Chains A and B, each alone.
Chain A
């Protein structure tokens, strides 16, 4: 299996349940020689070396305008980075746009933008179509599940199975016995649940549906289930609502009593301002957890040693009592083949600056959006990928 689809296998390493369902449905897949172009062997050589940021951190002296688009989860961070970077290097200007991870990947692939932002790593189809496209982790993010039930201010406990049933329309009301059983002492109203999902192609949907697939392998994750992706066929639920972007999810959920939504942690403060309450969700160990810094780092530890050289890996649903199960790398999607050498240098310099703990990966930036910095070994892998960008 693995030699045939190296990227996929690497990406799903350590997540047996998902890999099984993924492999099972397409055992007759045709071999793709192109995908081997992006090496996927676990990289141990660079992992231990101290990251050398200085090598690629110098921007060109010419004026360069960079364009970024994509993930709305990463958007608030880019909006912190871009003006500061411009202040530091006045000849480099960076425009940002929060359009959804799908657009980020597609536009970076088609060359309409310089940097795509994505919560999801590249798929084998994309890398075979554009072999020069790479995904570079910039930080670690997490996703929170929020609910809007007027009159209920306590934090709800929800299992992945219950959330899966809600999104499949099997659990219709907040006072369903399955929810009550997890939340004794909470006075749940007989209010219809409105499951919100993203209308655009989204890394958040990718993360959320991976979590559902792994917590509910026989339902959501089964061959007949919706499974996972940046766009999935959400089961028809009459109260369902689709919103564009994390901002749309927060606003839409705030306007809809009875809603449940998945939102990136960079929108945590907006979500609570909109009257949404955070729900604790079950991890692999069956414990209910919320996205704290410690929980995110505990989850990340499960996977760091397995990160392959192309850094395409799922960080969802790892073991450990304190691990928060929905975390991910936030990726910059870049084409290593740039037509303009100045642009290539500017992209390299900016991305290096972004993952440098002295600059973009400093807590002063990341804490504002509740992200966690890249571990040193991953930063080294990112630097190695950044070094490939050229003209």
Chain B
């Protein structure tokens, strides 16, 4: 791994006050000073053992989470079959009838699960978030790093940290009581009225609802993933060598041309990585969506304002209810949904990090992008 640090082509600018986020997202030191060289016979057994145990803990936690989810979900996978991912029905069954056994799995009579609606809801809301957050993050990061000085760059850092630090439930509170009603009263009707009846845009027509729904959730999610994409982009742009950009400008390129032809291509892999990471976070976001989605189950949204649900929000709002299914199928079905969500976010995270580690120099932020 140490090799990755050496692969960096250009020295990073060392600001006077390295940001906290910079600390978190960069691995700067060219020569990591190991106190304990690999060859040194360590006299520090206990420290080494304790620290090794701690370092293995996250990996163990990851494996344990996977194992527990798979163990929980297996009967549900057996009962629900492949149809779980393509059917749209959410019926825990009638608990007041005698439970039955299908495929060796005990389940309430008439129970039937298909997660298509919540899968679609998860993907759609995250895509809306990405469509808003990606341009906003890139634009903001570009303006800050290319037009404004390091002082402003620092100031943007404050807002990004604040945005990343605001609790998810507070986003939800704002979404459900402030921005949702406001948009559905003053903005959505304008879209609904003027959008032409053509492909995709047709989705903006129709009933605009009371503020809880797909578009409102997408907007809230966008605000939540902006810190991840924007902070990474800002760090990436700072790395593009000045000489190259100035050379391009000297050749007569306008600022925009420098940006699109030099700066962006230089950092594209890193931005793709950050975008995938942001997408993964949007897919898994729970509380805020649970508060602004409308929480309906088994219903596909008919337009972009319609109420819907996501996998994560369904788990948090129905886990307690699922517990009254004496056969345990409802809880296990939620494990199956959680497993699907986990696998997707896992792949996104691993993929993004591998991609970025291969071709770029800036490490991706951890978690929420703080």
Does chain B have a CB within 8 A of A370?
no
Distance in Å from the Cβ of A17 to the closest Cβ of chain B? 15
Complex interface: chain A residues within 8 A of B321 (CB) = 100, 102-103, 106, 200-202, 230-231
A110 contacts B323, CB within 8 Å?
Answer: yes
Distance in Å from the Cβ of A221 to the closest Cβ of chain B? 11
Does chain B have a CB within 8 A of A255?
yes
Task: Pick the interface stretch among A42-50, A238-246, A266-274.
Answer: A238-246
Residue of B nearest to A259 (CB): B210
A124 contacts B98, CB within 8 Å?
Answer: yes
Residue of B nearest to A5 (CB): B98
Does chain B have a CB within 8 A of A25?
yes
Distance in Å from the Cβ of A132 to the closest Cβ of chain B? 14
Does chain A have a CB within 8 A of B275?
no
Complex interface: chain B residues within 8 A of A201 (CB) = 318, 320-322, 324
Q: How long is the Cα–Cα vector from A378 to B320 in the complex, in angstroms?
A: 30
B94 contacts A227, CB within 8 Å?
Answer: yes
State which of A26, A236, A255 has its C-beta within 8 Å of the C-beta of B298: A236
Residue of B nearest to A118 (CB): B324
Distance in Å from the Cβ of B295 to the closest Cβ of chain A? 4
Q: How long is the Cα–Cα vector from A71 to B52 in the complex, in angstroms?
A: 48
Complex interface: chain B residues within 8 A of A11 (CB) = 96
Distance in Å from the Cβ of A324 to the closest Cβ of chain B? 23
Does chain A have a CB within 8 A of B336?
no
Does chain B have a CB within 8 A of A204?
no
Residue of B nearest to A112 (CB): B323
Contacts of B285-322 to chain A: CB distance below 8 A: 294-300, 302, 306-307, 317-318, 320-322
Does chain A have a CB within 8 A of B203?
no
State which of B90, B110, B318 has its C-beta within 8 Å of the C-beta of A200: B318
Contacts of A210-256 to chain B: CB distance below 8 A: 226-234, 236-244, 255-256
Complex interface: chain A residues within 8 A of B327 (CB) = 125
Contacts of A271-297 to chain B: CB distance below 8 A: none
Given that A229-B92, A230-B95 are contacting pairs, would A29 and B100 also be in contact in the complex, using a CB cutoff of 8 Å?
yes
Does chain A have a CB within 8 A of B108?
yes
Does chain B have a CB within 8 A of A94?
no
Does chain A have a CB within 8 A of B212?
yes
Q: How long is the Cα–Cα vector from A383 to B164 in the complex, in angstroms?
A: 55
Complex interface: chain A residues within 8 A of B88 (CB) = 236
Distance in Å from the Cβ of B323 to the closest Cβ of chain A? 3
User: For this complex, into which size category does the number of interface residues on chain B fall?
Assistant: 35 or more
State which of A28, A100, A103, A125 has its C-beta within 8 Å of the C-beta of B326: A125
Distance in Å from the Cβ of B98 to the closest Cβ of chain A? 3
B98 contacts A32, CB within 8 Å?
Answer: yes
Q: How long is the Cα–Cα vector from A234 to B117 in the complex, in angstroms?
A: 14
Complex interface: chain A residues within 8 A of B181 (CB) = 255
Complex interface: chain B residues within 8 A of A239 (CB) = 207, 209
Q: Which of A110, A232, A238, A244 has the most CB of B within 10 A?
A: A238
B299 contacts A243, CB within 8 Å?
Answer: no
B94 contacts A228, CB within 8 Å?
Answer: yes
Complex interface: chain A residues within 8 A of B98 (CB) = 5, 8, 26, 29-30, 32, 124
Complex interface: chain B residues within 8 A of A126 (CB) = 95, 324, 326
A233 contacts B97, CB within 8 Å?
Answer: no
Given that A110-B323, A236-B298 are contacting pairs, would A125 and B210 also be in contact in the complex, using a CB cutoff of 8 Å?
no
Complex interface: chain A residues within 8 A of B97 (CB) = 8, 22, 25-26, 29
Residue of B nearest to A192 (CB): B207
Q: Which of B97, B207, B306, B307 has the most CB of A within 10 A?
A: B97
Complex interface: chain A residues within 8 A of B297 (CB) = 199, 233-234, 242
Given that A123-B95, A229-B96, A233-B91 are contacting pairs, would A128 and B317 also be in contact in the complex, using a CB cutoff of 8 Å?
no
Residue of A nearest to B109 (CB): A26
Complex interface: chain B residues within 8 A of A356 (CB) = none
Does chain A have a CB within 8 A of B325?
yes
Does chain B have a CB within 8 A of A144?
no
B207 contacts A238, CB within 8 Å?
Answer: yes
Q: How long is the Cα–Cα vector from A192 to B302 in the complex, in angstroms?
A: 15
A244 contacts B317, CB within 8 Å?
Answer: yes
B100 contacts A102, CB within 8 Å?
Answer: no
Does chain A have a CB within 8 A of B241?
no
Complex interface: chain B residues within 8 A of A230 (CB) = 95, 321, 324
Q: How long is the Cα–Cα vector from A129 to B112 in the complex, in angstroms?
A: 21
State which of B90, B110, B295 has its C-beta within 8 Å of the C-beta of A244: B295
Given that A125-B325, A128-B326 are contacting pairs, would A242 and B94 also be in contact in the complex, using a CB cutoff of 8 Å?
no
Q: How long is the Cα–Cα vector from A228 to B294 in the complex, in angstroms?
A: 22
Q: How long is the Cα–Cα vector from A99 to B317 in the complex, in angstroms?
A: 10
Contacts of B82-114 to chain A: CB distance below 8 A: 88-101, 108-110, 112
Q: Which of B95, B112, B324 has the most CB of A within 10 A?
A: B324
Residue of A nearest to B291 (CB): A244
Distance in Å from the Cβ of A10 to the closest Cβ of chain B? 12
B210 contacts A236, CB within 8 Å?
Answer: no
Given that A105-B324, A126-B95, A230-B95 are contacting pairs, would A199 and B207 also be in contact in the complex, using a CB cutoff of 8 Å?
no
1/0 per residue B177-209: CB within 8 Å of A? 000010000000000000000000000000101
Complex interface: chain B residues within 8 A of A119 (CB) = none
- Would you list the 8 A-B pairs with minimal beta carbon distance, nearest first? A201-B321, A125-B326, A106-B323, A29-B98, A233-B91, A102-B321, A103-B320, A123-B95
| 8 interchain pairs, CB-CB under 8 A | A11-B96, A22-B97, A100-B320, A103-B324, A106-B320, A125-B108, A233-B92, A242-B295
B residues sitting closer than 8 Å to A (CB atoms) are: 88-101, 108-110, 112, 181, 207, 209-212, 294-300, 302, 306-307, 317-318, 320-327, 330
What 9 new A-B contacts, CB under 8 Å, besides A123-B326, A229-B95, A236-B298? A22-B96, A102-B321, A102-B324, A125-B326, A201-B322, A229-B96, A255-B181, A255-B210, A256-B210
